[in-house]
A = this chain, B = another copy of it.
Amino acid sequence: MVLINRKDLIDLFHENGYKVTPQRLAIFECIMGRRDHPSASEIHSELKREYPTISQATIYNTLHILRDIGAIQELGFEDGKTRFDPDTSIHVNLVCTACGKITDFTDEDLVKAWIGMVEKTAKKTVGQRLDLYYKCTHCSRMVSE
């Protein structure tokens, strides 16, 4: 699921008993606006331009709320950072193992197979994560030079 407009997000905050603040809207729109699954510190850096006093605590609080209400997905990585994805539907994250760049990819046949697999496990799923690790063209060039 991907929230498209601000009103849906505001409704989602209200439905869950959260107040709407400029920081909360800006944090979500930052994640939505970039297509690269940013980390908390990347979000903080970007938003300090518009909100010079915004604190890390607000970034983390908001990210956890957004995750809890289902607006984003949190992805832990081996470097100890977690990154945030505004698309919570079944899709593949193409992750460059050299530079960390992430792009999304969707494949209908894979989605069908995934849903079939979930049925076989007979488990009530609450989410999923499908990563494909590779070296992006930029990083592939690096090594050969």
Contacts and interface: CB of A to CB of B under 8 A. Distances in A.
A128 to B, nearest CB: 5
Interface stretch (A3-11, A47-55, A111-119): A111-119
A74 interface: yes
19 contacts: A74-B78, A75-B78, A76-B76, A76-B77, A80-B82, A94-B121, A107-B117, A110-B114, A110-B116, A113-B113, A113-B114, A121-B132, A123-B134, A125-B133, A126-B134, A126-B135, A127-B133, A128-B133, A130-B131
Number of copies: 2
A92 B116 CA distance: 13
Interface string A80-121: 101000000000101001000000010101101110111011
Interface in A60-81: 74-80
B118 A109 contact: no
Contacts of A114: 110, 113
Nearest to A134: B123
A34 interface: no
